[in-house]
Structures are given as structure tokens and as C-alpha cells.
Amino acid sequence: MRVYTCDEMRQIEQRADAGGLSYRQMMENAGWRATAILLHWWRQSHPAQPVMRVAIFCGKGGNGGDGLVMARHLSAAGMAVVVVLCQGQPVPAHSAANLQLLRGRSIPIYQLGEAAVDQLAAEADVLIDAVYGTGFHGEMDDRGRQAAALMNSAPGTVWAVDVPSGVAGDSGHIDPGAVQANFTVALHSYKPAHLVYPAAGHSGQLVLADIGIPASCDPVQPAFHVTDAQQVFTALPPRQQDTHKGDFGKLLAVVSSGDMPGAGQICTAGALRVGTGLVRVAIPRPLVAQYAPHLPEAVYLPLPQSEDGSAAPGAAPVLEKALADSTACVVGCGMGTGQGPAQLLQYLLQHAACPLLLDADALGILSQSPDWLNGVKAPLVLTPHPGEMARLLGISTGQLVANKLQYGRQFIEKYPVTLVLKGAHTLVFSPGCPVVINPTGNPGMSKAGSGDLLSGIIGGLLAQGLSPYLAAVCGVWLHGAAGDRCAARLSQTAMLPTDMQKDLSDLFLAHHR
Ligand SMILES: NC(=O)C1=CN([C@@H]2O[C@H](COP(=O)(O)OP(=O)(O)OC[C@H]3O[C@@H](n4cnc5c(N)ncnc54)[C@H](O)[C@@H]3O)[C@@H](O)[C@H]2O)[C@@H](O)CC1
Ligand SMILES: [K+]
């Protein structure tokens, strides 16, 4: 799946133009393809109504030019088209030329603010948002907001060309007046804002339009990447015949306290289900009897327990031998945030040579002392949800969510870790790598225990020798894909993280692993 930034798109278009596909032709192709897609949808969804009433809201740039091309083709197809110029006359020559082509045809052209426009918007079956595209920056001006408000309040279906107006294609910043589209026709490639939530929620259903640009014009190292099954199963080598458990890694899981025994159990199961050779579980001693019947494959490292049910202060040295013998370590799931767990985390950060995954309570402890990340030798993977990430940064969850890409990038610049920022379309940030957008998963996974399973999956892949970046990217994809299978089997409402273990095995079976 192609995802290119607005800047990359400009370079792609430059290369296409230099290669002989003119800007004017690209605009013609964009308007023509978007028209074909719209007509196909209309004829499928409204078979008894041959004439669609369309109001096309055009800005002054290239996006508006696409709208003007659509006006010509929709009118030629017999649709009742009106054009509303929202920012006066088009500026780029190829947009202006397309306005010129409309003169002399029976297509009414209005200026935004004319009395008839409100009524036309209210009567339109389809409203086309061609106000701003990849050139949008900053805040919407009054006219942009006025056009967006008309489209958003109209009863018809809103189709956005390229990007819903008011949504910044790269950062995903959403202007308060932004268009809420039912459909968005993305030109040549998806833009980050189509896939990164909450901006993605403004696009409605996405349709990708080929506008004739050859793949040779695409960037060699794009800034974003969307994971697919092929990448995951290439990174996970098949298990060879002549192997033993030592070939598949040893994971140390430092997890659980008295009131959260399940978190560590789900994490451990996740690690085992992705094929880890050996999982050692360090938990407060009284929990061992609870765990063992459910997870007989695990090896237990009992820790002294404090009164609050978590590991007691002074327990850390118990980990020494197991840590030295591990190929990865997961810390946090349900372990508590008191003095004992804080000491365990600090010990692991100071002593681990193997990759270390920090989740849940480990992130809670870390938010009190983020400087603990300085000077850590072990490769680190952090798996916060937005609330945990906001606490780590000392900002509100709202601030974080509105600017996920910016905060994620800044964080890995400050601390060279692999950051898995969880949520719909989880993001993975890792130094020197493209930002990865995960396409799998569904709202049925928004349940306690889901993150613990993910930690176990990524931890297990780390233990088997995948790099932090690949372990995170593949782990997040597998977790979401198992969730999608589970939702199809049990419903998003009823599915549980523990159910997803079966789907994880089905997923491996389906890919002959
Ligand atoms: N460059 C090309 O060759 C192609 C461009 N195409 C279309 O052109 C779009 C990009 O065109 P443009 O770069 O002209 O820009 P846009 O059409 O996205 O932006 C419209 C105009 O609004 C201005 N603007 C941006 N932010 C504003 C704000 N906050 N307040 C007021 N005005 C603001 C921009 O400077 C621009 O003049 C693409 O999204 C796509 O729809 C397509 O026709 C395919 C080919
Ligand atoms: K638009």
C-alpha cells in the first residue's frame, strides 16, 4: 500500500512531469478517474435515479482544478452539476484552463456567498469537496470553513478529492471546521492523514485512484510504510527441522502482582504462541500456583512479595542469572508501580544486555523518572497507549492524540528507542526507519488484556532474534490480524484477548508456519 507525504507527492509529480506526463494531464486524469469512481458508486447505489445532482466546491489551487475537471466529465455524463468557486478565480494555469473549458457549457458557476448556494448545497445528492488538497497548511480561512460547514450540514453524500479539506495531509492536524467526508478519492497514493487517527476518521471510505503516474516516479525510501502479510512472513523464518528449543530464544517476563495475575499470563501465552523456545516468568511467589495450571510450558522464577501484592523491594538480584541467560525481556504487564516493581525496572534498565520491552506499569514508573532511559545499553521497545505516552511526555492525552506523529518522532530523537504507539492503526517509530502504520486490528481489541498479549508477541519475536523494529512491526500486525480473525469468529463485542490465541495459531497455519 503506497503512503506518500504531500512533499513526496510534489516530487513524484515533478518526476512524472519531467518524464512527459504533464501537470495538466495529471489533473485531467485525476478528475476523470474521480468521476468514474463516483459514477460507478452512484449507479450501484441509486439504480432508479439516473441523474445525480452534484455541487462541486472548488478552491483556488490544484485541488479545485480537479473539481473543475470533474464538473466537465459529470456534466457530459448527464449529471446536474453546479460549481461553487470558494476562493475566487483559480490560480495555477492548469486549474484556470479547466475553468475556461466550463464556459459555454450549461454548468452554473457560483461564488461562495451567493444567495443560491445554500439551497443548492441542501438539494445536492452529492457534494464534492475540492477546496484544499495536499497544498493545505495552517488554519482554514473563513471561506474554507464556510464551504466545509455547508458540505458538512448538507444531507447529501460528501466526496472529498484527495484529502478532506481542513485536514493536513502529513501531520494529520485537523482544523475545527474540517470537512467530514463519506468518501475520499486519494490520488496516486494514500497520504498519512488518510490512515493515522483521528485524522483518518474524516476521510470516510477511502478509494485509491490511479492518475497515470508510473511507479518509477515513486520515492525509493518513503517516510511512511504500511505493513503487509508478505513483509511479516518474510521476517519470520520457517522453523527448520534440525532445531531445539534453544534455537527459538529465551524470554524473561517480569510481570503481574496480586491483583493482576492475568496480565502476565496473557503476555506469557502470547510469547509462547509466537514460537518462543522458553519463557521464564518472574512473579511474586504466591502467584506461581495460580499460573502453573494454565501455563505449564513456562518456567517460574518466584519473587518475594510485598504487602501490596507486588514484588517486594530488594527482589531484583533474583533476576540476575535468568537475565544473563535471556535473549529478550518483557517488563511491566500488571506488575504494579510500587517500590519493588520500580527497583525491578531500574535493575533491568541498568543490567540487561538483551532487548528489553517496557509496557504498562513499567511505563507508569518510567513517567516518574524518564531520565532512566538515558544511557541504557539494551535495545528498548516501548509500547504505550495514548494515555501512557501522554504521561511519559507530561502532556494531556488530547494534546498527544492530536499530534501523534510529531510527538512520536520527537520522542525517538530524544531517546533512541523503538516506540509502538498503540491505537487504531498503531504507529511504530524507530530511529532511521520509516514510520510504520499498521493496517490490522479492530475495536473489539479495545479490552483489558489486549496490550499484554501484544507485549508477549513482540517480546517473543525479540527473543527469537528479530530486530526491535521488525519485532514491533510484525508483532503489531500479527496481533491485529489475529484480532480481525477473532472478531469474524466471535464478534467485536464478545471477543476476548484470551480467545485471540486460537486465531494466532490459525493465522500461522494459513501461512504454512
Ligand atoms: N500538482 C499536480 O500536478 C497535481 C495536483 N493535483 C491536485 O492538486 C492538489 C494540490 O494543489 P495545490 O498545491 O495547488 O494546493 P491545494 O489545491 O491543496 O490548495 C488550495 C490553495 O489553498 C491555499 N491554501 C493552503 N492552505 C491555506 C489556508 N490555510 N488558507 C487559505 N488558503 C490556503 C494553497 O496555497 C492553494 O493555493 C492535490 O491535492 C490534488 O488534488 C492533481 O490534480 C494531480 C496533479
Ligand atoms: K479536498
Beta-strand runs (E) in 319-424? 328-331, 356-358, 380-382, 418-421
Taking the centre of ligand 2 as the mean of its atom positions, its distance from the CA of residue 82, in whole angstroms, is: 17
On the question of a cis peptide bond just before residue 341, with omega within 30 degrees of 0, the verdict is: no
168/238 same-domain check: no
H-state helical runs in 77-171: 93-100, 115-123, 142-153
Give the dihedral sign, CA 374/397/263/493.
Answer: negative
ipTM: 0.96
263/194 same-domain check: no
Q: Note the pLDDT of residue 288.
A: 95
Q: Note the pLDDT of residue 241.
A: 87
For residue 424, say whether it is annotated as part of any ligand binding site. Answer: yes
Q: Pocket of ligand 1, candidates 7, 8, 60: which has the most ligand atoms within 8 Å of its Cβ, to mutate? A: 60
202 located within any domain: yes
125/183 same-domain check: yes
What are the DSSP calls for 416-474, one per residue?
A: --EEEE-STT-EEE-TTSPEEE-----GGG-STTHHHHHHHHHHHHHHTT--HHHHHHH
1 located within any domain: no
Angle at 339 between CA 417 and CA 392, to 5 degrees: 35
Residues of the chain with pLDDT under 70: none
150 located within any domain: yes
429 located within any domain: yes
CB 266 within 8 A of CB 333: yes
Taking the centre of ligand 1 as the mean of its atom positions, its distance from the CA of residue 162, in whole angstroms, is: 10
Q: Which one of the ligands is nearest to 177 CA? A: 1
- Give the span between the Cα atoms of 258 and 268, in whole angstroms: 16
Residue 373: name the closest of 404, 313, 415 by CA. 415
138/176 same-domain check: yes
- Give the span between the Cα atoms of 414 and 374, in whole angstroms: 9
57/18 same-domain check: yes
Taking the centre of ligand 1 as the mean of its atom positions, its distance from the CA of residue 86, in whole angstroms, is: 13
pLDDT tens-digit profile of 457-476? 999 999 999 999 999 999 99
Q: Note the pLDDT of residue 209.
A: 98
372/402 same-domain check: yes
Q: How many residues does the chain have?
A: 513
- Last residue of one domain, picked from the residues 201, 221, 241: 221
482/392 same-domain check: yes
266 located within any domain: yes
pLDDT tens-digit profile of 219-266? 999 999 999 999 999 999 788 888 888 889 999 999 999 889 899 999
Q: Which residues line ligand 1 (CB under 6 A)?
A: 13, 23, 26-27, 30, 59-66, 91-92, 132-141, 144, 161-162, 187, 211
Task: Give how many domains the chain has, as a whole number.
Answer: 2
Look up the CATH number of the domain holding residue 368: 3.40.1190.20
| Residue 45: CB atoms within 10 Å | 9
Taking the centre of ligand 1 as the mean of its atom positions, its distance from the CA of residue 133, in whole angstroms, is: 5
As beta bridge partners, residue 224 has 435
506 located within any domain: yes
Q: Note the pLDDT of residue 493.
A: 98
304 located within any domain: yes
Q: Note the pLDDT of residue 37.
A: 98
Residue 178: name the closest of 210, 118, 235, 138 by CA. 138
- Last residue of one domain, picked from the residues 173, 202, 221: 221
For residue 397, say whether it is annotated as part of any ligand binding site. Answer: no
Look up the CATH number of the domain holding residue 160: 3.40.50.10260
What residues make up the domain containing 104? 6-221
| Residue 129: CB atoms within 10 Å | 32
DSSP 8-class letter at 134: T
CB 342 within 8 A of CB 365: yes
Taking the centre of ligand 2 as the mean of its atom positions, its distance from the CA of residue 70, in whole angstroms, is: 13
76/197 same-domain check: yes
Question: Atom 40 (ligand 1): residue with closest C-alpha?
Answer: 63
Cell digits of residue 488: 469474524
Q: Note the pLDDT of residue 119.
A: 97
63/94 same-domain check: yes
For residue 162, say whether it is annotated as part of any ligand binding site. Answer: yes
Cell digits of residue 381: 521497545
How many H helices and E strands in the chain?
19, 17
395/489 same-domain check: yes
- Last residue of one domain, picked from the residues 187, 221, 255: 221
Q: Which one of the ligands is nearest to 34 CA? A: 1
Q: Note the pLDDT of residue 237.
A: 78
Q: What torsion do the CA atoms of 250, 234, 192, 416 make, to the nearest 10 degrees?
A: 40
Q: Note the pLDDT of residue 242.
A: 87
For residue 177, say whether it is annotated as part of any ligand binding site. Answer: no
478/385 same-domain check: yes
CB neighbour burial string for 447-461, b if at least 16 within 10 angstroms, e if fewer: eebbbbbbbbbbbbb
Residue 461: name the closest of 509, 390, 397, 513 by CA. 513
For residue 141, say whether it is annotated as part of any ligand binding site. Answer: no
399 located within any domain: yes
175/323 same-domain check: no
